[in-house]
Chain A
Amino acid sequence: MSPEKPHSEPRALISSTAERLAAIVEAAEHAAAKVIDDAEEHARGQIEEANARADRIVAERLRTLADELDPPAARPRPSHLEAVTPDPAPEQAAGGTRSRSAGARLLATQMAVSGSSREEIEERLRSGFEIEDTSEILDAILGPED
């Protein structure tokens, strides 16, 4: 038995254990990286799908709301605002052209969404459209005055 032997065996054992540990760690890291990659890919897919869905919803809402003279859909609508009832058929006569009345409604709706007060909208309707009784439009958008 050489004097070195008692020392070399444990060293070999340590070396072998270290190699095995390194292999285990590497395998674990590889597995973790794959899990992360898979999760990221899955998340990206979900984000893309959600974005596409959001785009479709926004586009659809905008088309509908524009037809109904409602505010831009992408901007959060203040909770006190109510949807504007679409103008009846006569408003869309003559090849679907907008009437002054429809324009007044869109003006009032856009002003309300942008934060204008009832008084400001009323003043603008009177000056721009010479509408004496603005209550019908204002009530439809902002709700009846208390």
Chain B
Amino acid sequence: MNLTDLQALEERYLMRTYRRAPVEFVRGEGALLWDAGGREYLDFLAGISVCSVGHCNPDVVEAVREQASRLIHTSNLFYTEPMVRLAERLAASSLGGRVFFANSGTEANECAIKLARKHAHRRGVDSPQIVSFERDFHGRTYGALAATPSLAENADLGPMLPGFRSVPFDDAAALREAVGESTAAVLIEPIQGESGVYAISDETLLAAREACDEVGALLVFDEIQTGLGRTGSLWAYEQTPVRPDVLTSAKALGGGMPIGACIAGPGAGEVLEPGDHGSTFAGGPVACAAALAVLEIVDDATLLRRVRELGADLRQRLLGIEGVRAVRGRGLMLGVALEGGIDATALGADLLDRGLVVNVPEPGTLRLLPPLTVDSAQIEHAAATIEAALLSFGER
């Protein structure tokens, strides 16, 4: 079956929810992908920050293989060891409280929203509100969608869940104004990912923490993209002047297996009780075994230092390229702002033709999310490829 056959079947049988690039990948190893024709690609997207330990990481593959050969699923009506070991490891590496497992990032955020609302009801709030920033992306299920202002504006998908409001991005004053007695939580991406890699300032984070403390609301960090070493520390909050009450994780957590987690500190972790929340598949032994293998790799000071060093190297190389206006982000989560007039979508397609996989989250920006296990030669090659593509754009 070739690409044309796949496209014909997609056209006939799949809902039209994605615009896919015309490539069929059939194999991956480390930072490399191969298409059906045997062509090699350097992957600087990593499945949107999912394959942070590289494609088909041998430790993850072995953990999945070993667990799948013994037990794949039992439901949350029973115990399985990978689940409780992973909960312990996640809590111990972050906020120290309790963990709820989900199957994805948006589901992890659903848990955080539910937890925040119940927490607010306990404070006597009748109509709790969740405050988020414009351009945030928290997911596509209805709770997370309501906290994602740009998507929540789609009237065709209405009515939206009530109890959400947004403020202009990184506007500390507006945030202070928006947070009041009825606020259940402030939900923040410490570095916005889907909208183009924009970090929230320290001033705004401090304002959010203070505002939450004043009214008893929860500060929730959506670390679905920023977490697990992506920014050069295990969690992005470790490079900020605040500590959240709740954080959500997914994407890289399973090394490619679908898993999400809502991690709540000691106080917030006590809010949800039996019957409040649940999931059939979540916390399954195969996904949890994979996640334990991922944490074994990324929760490592040497790897995290390397992420910071390689990120700094990539940033410097990119800033030296004509056509690059600025580089945003932290560690190996970088947004490359292009000079005005450069069509980022066309550039992204050209880079794919040149064998470099990147993403275009907004007009004028490339997003780079390579595996954290990328090597310096691959960093150099990616920067050289972007430079060559931009040069050819300038000549057109």
Contacts and interface: CB of A to CB of B under 8 A. Distances in A.
Contact of A58 (B213, B237, B266, B301): B266
B206 A72 contact: no
Contacts of A72: 94-96, 243
Interface residues of A, number: 31
B233 A111 contact: yes
Contact of A129 (B92, B93, B202, B213): B202
Contacts of B272: none
23 contacts: A58-B96, A61-B96, A63-B266, A72-B243, A74-B92, A74-B94, A74-B96, A75-B93, A96-B213, A97-B210, A97-B214, A100-B206, A100-B241, A103-B202, A107-B240, A110-B238, A111-B239, A113-B238, A115-B304, A116-B232, A116-B239, A128-B201, A128-B202
A120 interface: yes
Among the interface residues A59, A61, A117, which one has the most CB atoms of the partner chain B within 10 A? A59
B125 interface: no
Contacts of B96: 58-59, 61-62, 72-74
B266 A114 contact: no
A142 interface: no
Nearest to A59: B266
Contacts, number: 87
Given A59-B96, A72-B96, 13 more contacts: A58-B266, A62-B96, A62-B265, A74-B96, A75-B93, A97-B210, A97-B214, A107-B239, A110-B233, A111-B239, A114-B234, A115-B233, A129-B241
Among the interface residues B96, B234, B243, B267, which one has the most CB atoms of the partner chain A within 10 A? B96
A98 B214 CA distance: 10
Among the interface residues B233, B266, B301, B308, which one has the most CB atoms of the partner chain A within 10 A? B266
Contacts of B91: 74
B277 interface: no
B202 A114 contact: no
A74 B87 CA distance: 13
Contacts of B305: 115, 117
A103 to B, nearest CB: 3
Given A73-B96, A128-B241, A98 B266 contact: no
B304 A114 contact: yes
A5 B301 CA distance: 84
Contacts of B265: 62
Nearest to B301: A115
A113 to B, nearest CB: 7
Interface in A111-144: 111, 113-117, 120, 124, 128-129
B243 A103 contact: no
Among the interface residues A58, A61, A95, A129, which one has the most CB atoms of the partner chain B within 10 A? A58
Interface string B261-305: 000011100000000000000000000000000000000010011
B389 interface: no
Contacts of B232: 116
Interface string A55-89: 10011011100100000111100000000000000
Question: How many residues of B sit at the interface, in one of the four size bands?
Answer: 20 to 34
Interface string B254-266: 0000000000011
A106 B305 CA distance: 20
Nearest to B229: A114
Nearest first, the 8 closest Cβ-Cβ pairs linking A and B are A103-B241, A74-B96, A59-B266, A114-B233, A115-B301, A114-B238, A107-B241, A110-B238
A103 B206 contact: yes
A74 to B, nearest CB: 4
Contacts of A66: 243
Nearest to B270: A59
B151 interface: no
A75 B209 CA distance: 22
Among the interface residues B203, B210, B237, B238, which one has the most CB atoms of the partner chain A within 10 A? B238
A74 B265 CA distance: 11
Contacts of B304: 114-115
B391 to A, nearest CB: 31
A75 B266 contact: no
A115 B331 CA distance: 14
B61 interface: no
Interface in A91-109: 95-98, 100, 103-104, 106-107
A127 to B, nearest CB: 9
Contacts of A74: 91-96
Contacts of A58: 96, 266
